[in-house]
Amino acid sequence: MHDMVHDFAQFVSENECLSLEINGSEELDVTNSLDEKVRHLMLIIGEGAIFPVSTRRIKRMRSLLIDGGRSDHSSLNGEILEELFRELTSLRALDFCESYHSRSSLTPEIPRNIEKLVHLRYLSLSFQHIEKLPETLCELYNLETLDISGCFDLEELPKGIGKLVNMKHLLNSRTSSVRYMPVGIGRLTGLRTLGEFT
């Protein structure tokens, strides 16, 4: 790439991607760091940190990755998520970035108002201690990938999962607690990835 074109590309995309590590109660610093131009945000939540609800003011955010692997406790409750889902309606990707070795789950539940994220194409809930997904998840018609890998406590999939007609990948490894496959899953004719339910 020509140097001038490269410099121009960097100038245009400046402040669109941001990675922040939050330790302790740094809400004021986080608020100052966030810019309306941010489209892709990765939050690394450290030990004793509080989830920065100031992220809700970035209305045009497209990607939100929340890494709580360094935290000992659940830093996201249903109330905070409800507020985020209500405000961040332009999200295309939401990832809770947990790993098999993480000591705790970021969130034990997904609020019903997840249906507000109508543009969402990618949702990763992997390794969360979620027992049930809300039926309103089935209103996310644009969802192409749902990652529930390692959700050991998940007992069932939403009955209306057949409404997710654009679903291409249902990543479901290590979900042995899921008791049955909903009948509507047969309507997902574009499904390319589906692990075996045991």
- pLDDT for residue 105 is more than 60: no
The answer as to whether 191 is a domain residue is yes
- Give the CATH number, domain containing residue 159: 3.80.10.10
Domain hosting residue 196, numbered range:
109-198
Same domain, 128 and 94: no
φ, ψ of residue 169 to 5 degrees: the values are -135, 120
Q: What is the per-residue pLDDT across 7-42, written as a single tens digit (0 to 9) for each? A: 555 555 566 788 778 776 555 445 555 666 788 888
Same domain, 114 and 90: no
- Amino acid letter at 14? E
- 83-87: Cβ within 8 A, 24+ apart: 83/53, 83/56, 84/53, 84/55, 84/56, 85/111, 85/113, 85/114, 85/116, 85/117, 86/56, 86/113, 86/116, 87/56, 87/57, 87/59
- pLDDT for residue 4 is more than 80: no
- pLDDT band at 170; cut points 50, 70, 90: very high
Same domain, 80 and 118: no
What percentage of the chain carries pLDDT values higher than 90?
26
